């Protein structure tokens, strides 16, 4: 996927600029080209071969930037419409928080829950919403539909992404928090275990020292009485 990374970023940035201008047809073409490059790169990758850590980080960052370019262009296009802008920002936050939850899970060594929709599903849904806008714009013009009907597929895609993305991120973060808390409870730090063991040993030694002197005094008193008893009997005789 390294060879196609730069062309994909360029195409995604071009799609974002076109979307910001309201040119949905060429923006959809650029987005489709970027998606095709990603599909070709994924097909060429060996199934059993794991990518290097550095390459995996760069590829994941490139994917996030591609999605950011498209959603950023839509946010600029909807800057004067409150509801579509809010949906775009919520979809953007859902994509960011899903990546953040996965990163936190890997950092804590916890396997997160399986998300409701994968990144590929999110990208496909967003791409479908953008690609259908030119057709709905033509239909709304011919049928004299309300203005919002021209962006109806895109608004529906943004609403689904906003709800599904944020819900998936919250579920994964909750799963990571619960698993990390359970893991921390089962594996206490070694220093804390040693401290508790040392306190218990010290308390046991103190208890032994408290008991033994009493037993020694009782033994000495018994011995003294046993030694005085024959003397008293001799005196009596």
Instruction: Convert the pLDDT of each residue in 74-129 to its tens digit.
Output: 999 999 999 999 999 999 998 888 888 877 877 777 665 554 446 677 888 888 99
The percent of residues in the chain predicted with pLDDT above 70, rounded, is 64
pLDDT of residue 171: 84
More confident residue, 236 or 137: 137
- Compute the distance between CA of residue 5 and CA of residue 72 in angstroms, rounded to an integer: 19
pLDDT of residue 104: 80
pLDDT of residue 69: 94
DSSP string across 41-110: HHHHS-TTPPPPHHHHHHHHHHHHHHHHHHHHHHHHHTTT-HHHHHHHHHHHHHHHHHHHHHHHHHHHT-
pLDDT of residue 114: 54
pLDDT of residue 235: 46
- Compute the distance between CA of residue 234 and CA of residue 237 in angstroms, rounded to an integer: 5
pLDDT of residue 78: 94
Whether the CB-CB separation of 120 and 43 falls below 8 Å is answered with: no
Q: Buried b / exposed e across 110-142, counting CB within 10 Å, b at 16+?
A: bebbebebebeebbebbbebbbbbbebbeebee
The percent of residues in the chain predicted with pLDDT above 90, rounded, is 30
Question: Is residue 51 predicted with pLDDT exceeding 60?
Answer: no
Tokens in use for 121?
């599903």
The confidence band for 200, taking pLDDT boundaries of 50, 70 and 90, is low
- Compute the distance between CA of residue 211 and CA of residue 193 in angstroms, rounded to an integer: 27
- 158 closest CA partner among 85, 220, 228, 217: 85
Tokens in use for 139?
């239909």
């Amino acid at each position: 996927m390294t060879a196609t990374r730069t062309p994909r970023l360029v195409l995604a940035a071009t799609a974002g600029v076109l979307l910001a201008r309201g040119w949905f047809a060429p923006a959809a073409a650029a987005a489709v080209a970027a998606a095709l490059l990603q599909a070709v790169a994924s097909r060429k990758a060996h199934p059993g071969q794991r990518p290097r850590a550095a390459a995996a980080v760069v590829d994941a960052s490139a994917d996030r930037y591609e999605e950011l370019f498209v959603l950023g262009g839509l946010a600029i296009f909807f800057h004067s419409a409150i509801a579509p802008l809010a949906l775009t920002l919520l979809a953007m936050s859902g994509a960011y928080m899903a990546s953040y939850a996965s990163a936190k899970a890997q950092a804590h060594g916890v396997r997160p829950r399986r998300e409701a929709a994968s990144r590929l599903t999110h990208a496909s849904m967003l791409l479908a919403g953008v690609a259908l806008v030119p057709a709905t714009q033509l239909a709304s013009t011919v049928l004299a539909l309300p203005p919002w009907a021209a962006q109806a597929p895109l608004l529906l895609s943004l609403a689904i992404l906003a709800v599904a993305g944020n819900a998936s991120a919250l579920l994964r973060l909750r799963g990571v928090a619960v698993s990390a808390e359970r893991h921390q409870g089962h594996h206490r730090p070694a220093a804390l275990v040693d401290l508790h063991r040392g306190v218990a040993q010290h308390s046991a030694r103190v208890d032994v020292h408290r008991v033994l002197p009493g037993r020694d005094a009782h033994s000495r008193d018994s011995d003294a009485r046993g030694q005085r008893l024959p003397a008293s009997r001799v005196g009596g005789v």
